[in-house]
Amino acid sequence: SDSGDGNVSACEFLLSGFETKAVLRDSAREKNIFIHGKIADQETVVILEKTPIREENLFELFKNSRLKLEMKNDIYSTYQLHPPPHLNEIKTTVVCPATEKHVKKYLRQETFLVEETGEDYRSITLPFIQSQSFSIQWVYNILEKKAEADRIVYEDPDPKVGFVLLPDFKWDQKQLDDLYLIAIVHRKDIKSLRDLTSEHIPLLCNIRKRGEDAIQKQYGVPANKLRVYLHYQPSYYHLHVHFTSLSYDAPGSGVERAHLLSDVIQNLQADAQYYHSRSLCFPLRADDGLLSKFKNAGRL
């Protein structure tokens, strides 16, 4: 029926001759896949993503689909359902011609879980951090009000237990659903969780109490709807604490990287040197310089 329209036909079969070179990234959770390949000698990136299941289609879906039994146990059973194609499309995005930059942008790096002992920290991680000259001037700019001063939600100026609280860049502040704030401490001598001892308990308790109060006051979100945690490894080595909405599945809030502030405080109360001596697990990307240091040290 579209034989008179060259464009539609060209589109319809655009991907039938697609040559896949590599899967750049995919997500089983989000049901998408990013593919690098070629269409008629042109570098191309194709992104496929299954579509959400819509309530208004359920009646037709149940009526016109067949089930194939996979497993039955007591009251539970699982099946494969084959719906009519028009109720089950895949959203497709084509970038053609694609540059090398597009390809890199979509390429996922493998990650590896590293288990770092206290000794590993001192012999591998700390020298690596010190050898990096990754500037944290932007953090000092915030603390000294040279930048982002208008974004500050709360400040405790005390030099020992004080901090600045401001929205994370990832939060557009348009809805409370994905609330995300960061508390940055005024002290400049604490690189990460590894430097914390019982000496810092008053600082941590102060951040917890006053951070939660400020968020309640400013946004009306109570403490029991917040997830308050530190990252290890952090993305910059100046102590900061994350406050995210409990209902928001925030990137970086997984157990392999996040440490609840309430656990950190309790662990330090029980053992002043907990984070000095304990093994800590964290993920590293394949292209992270720290990963090669662990490999070279035979620790991976």
Residues in 36-55 that interact with a copy of itself by CB under 8 A: 48, 50-53, 55
CB of 32 to a copy of itself, least distance (A): 7
> Does 270 help bind a copy of itself (rule: CB under 8 A)?
yes
DSSP string, 191-230: -SGGG--GGGHHHHHHHHHHHHHHHHHHH---GGGEEEEE
> Does 145 help bind a copy of itself (rule: CB under 8 A)?
no
Q: Which is nearer to a copy of itself, 113 or 158 (CB)?
A: 113
Q: Which is nearer to a copy of itself, 97 or 289 (CB)?
A: 97
Residues 112-141 that bind a copy of itself (CB under 8 A): 112-115, 137-138, 141
Calpha distance 65→59 (Å, rounded): 10
Residues 6+ away with beta carbon under 8 Å from 164:
142, 143, 152, 154, 155, 183, 184, 186
CA 215 from chain center: how many Å? 22
The C-alpha R_g of the chain, in whole angstroms, comes to 25
The residue from 1, 3, 89, 134 that contacts a copy of itself (CB under 8 A) is 89
Calpha distance 243→213 (Å, rounded): 12
With CB under 8 A as the rule, give the number of residues binding a copy of itself: 109
The residue from 106, 278, 288, 292 that contacts a copy of itself (CB under 8 A) is 278
CB of 75 to a copy of itself, least distance (A): 6
Calpha distance 291→7 (Å, rounded): 49
Q: Which is nearer to a copy of itself, 89 or 189 (CB)?
A: 89
Calpha distance 3→271 (Å, rounded): 76
The residue from 107, 126, 129, 147 that contacts a copy of itself (CB under 8 A) is 147
Calpha distance 230→253 (Å, rounded): 9
The residue from 156, 168, 195, 271 that contacts a copy of itself (CB under 8 A) is 271
> Does 273 help bind a copy of itself (rule: CB under 8 A)?
no
For 91, phi then psi, to 5°, come to -75, 130
Residues 195-254 that bind a copy of itself (CB under 8 A): 223-227, 229, 246-251, 253-254
Catalytic residue among 102, 240, 242, 259: 240
Active site residue 240: yes
Calpha distance 144→274 (Å, rounded): 32
CB of 113 to a copy of itself, least distance (A): 5
Active site positions, annotated: 240
